[in-house]
Amino acid sequence: MKEDHPKINYGRTGLLLVNLGTPDSTSWWDIRKYLKEFLSDKRVIELNPILWKIILNVFILNFRPSKTAKAYKEIWMKDKNVSPLRHYTEMQTKKLSEKLDNDKVITDFAMRYGSPSIRSKMKKLQNNGCERIIVIPLYPQYAAATTATVCDEVFRSLIDMRWQPSLQIIPHYESEPLYITALEKSLNKKISEINWKPDLIVASYHGIPKKYFDKGDPYHCYCQKTSRLLSEKFTKIPIQTTFQSRFGPQEWLKPYTDKTLESLPKEGKKNILVICPGFSSDCVETLEEISIQGRESFLNNGGKNFDVVPCLNDGKDHIDLLEHLAKRYMVK
């Protein structure tokens, strides 16, 4: 190599885990900043952009941050000063790095909204000599509002690169045997820890507007497939699929988790266990919406026993699954 030739890093593979994102703190301004980025995504909100911009900036961003901040304060990891989602994503990356990293593989993480950004981490991997980058969006069930928008941002990050890496994105893994087995084991573990038998297991997935499904989004089908495969392995107790986290007045995928939890005691099902298979890490939707709000609603409507199965988080079974997914696309 000539002495005046610029130094070039090359020959490595990058592995990038990507989750939804989280505010940097529970302050009103940090929450507002995060919500603005999230709710400005056209994949998330498919409304007339001019009308939505007015609604978002005049109404939602002036009132929603206070409510969202209260929810985050309920579950914030004060000792580490991070959200659970940020903590578990960092731990997933660390543990996966210990299994995969060597001179030729670099493992890192990014958030679709908030920090660290996808653009910054893609650039970092490329600068460190990654000619190939494998991206794992941490959403087992593909949806346009989750996986596709990660892809959009990954592709945008390539625009400014003179030497673009080759790219592999793992779009979904809702039926991976290791994933289904990990869910089954998490159910068995939780049941071994409680001293009552559930009448029903509620499998609660994040919802999407029904019109997205009507337009061809496969998310609903992937969720149902995961529940069916889990039911085939875990036959002790019936499993019912529901959808949570509605936003706005339009119809979303049904049945709704909150309405289901209100009605189950009246149907004689007073001992309920909830699992959230679509969330790779515990977060505000699982820890506050389900574990706090859901529990309160169920018990106030006549329920007797209620518990929630932790997400796969940074458990060994989850790390083994992520390693399996990554190695499938690594150059031998």
115 and 245 within one domain: no
Model-level pTM?
0.96
User: In 262-279, which positions are buried (b, 16+ CB within 10 angstroms) versus exposed (e)?
Assistant: bebbeeebbbbbbbbbbb
User: pLDDT tens digits for 41-83?
Assistant: 999 999 999 999 999 999 999 999 999 999 999 999 999 999 9
67 and 22 within one domain: yes
20 and 145 within one domain: yes
Structure tokens at 177: 């045997």
In a domain, 2, yes or no: no
In a domain, 210, yes or no: yes
292 and 261 within one domain: yes
Q: What is the CATH number of the domain that holds 159?
A: 3.40.50.1400
203 and 156 within one domain: no
In a domain, 126, yes or no: yes
47 and 168 within one domain: yes
Q: Where would I find the beta strands (DSSP E) of the chain? A: 12-21, 105-113, 130-137, 166-169, 200-206, 239-244, 271-275, 305-308
36 and 166 within one domain: yes
In a domain, 156, yes or no: yes
Is 60 exceeded by the pLDDT of residue 1?
no
298 and 182 within one domain: yes
Q: Are 72 and 286 in contact (CB under 8 A)?
A: no
pLDDT of residue 229: 98
Total domains in the chain come to 2
In a domain, 51, yes or no: yes
In a domain, 160, yes or no: yes
Give the whole-angstrom CA distance, residue 24 versus residue 324.
31
What would the DSSP string read from start to end of 151-168?
Answer: HHHHHHHHTT-SSPPEEE
- How remote is the C-alpha of 1 from its chain's centroid? 45
133 and 189 within one domain: no
201 and 129 within one domain: no
209 and 275 within one domain: yes
Q: Report residue 142's pLDDT band, with 50, 70 and 90 as the boundaries.
A: very high
Q: Please compute the mean of the pLDDT values over residues 251-270 and round it to a whole number.
A: 98
165 and 35 within one domain: yes
In a domain, 109, yes or no: yes
User: pLDDT tens digits for 191-237?
Assistant: 999 999 999 999 999 999 999 999 999 999 999 999 999 999 999 99
Q: Print the domain residue range for 239.
A: 177-308
In a domain, 80, yes or no: yes
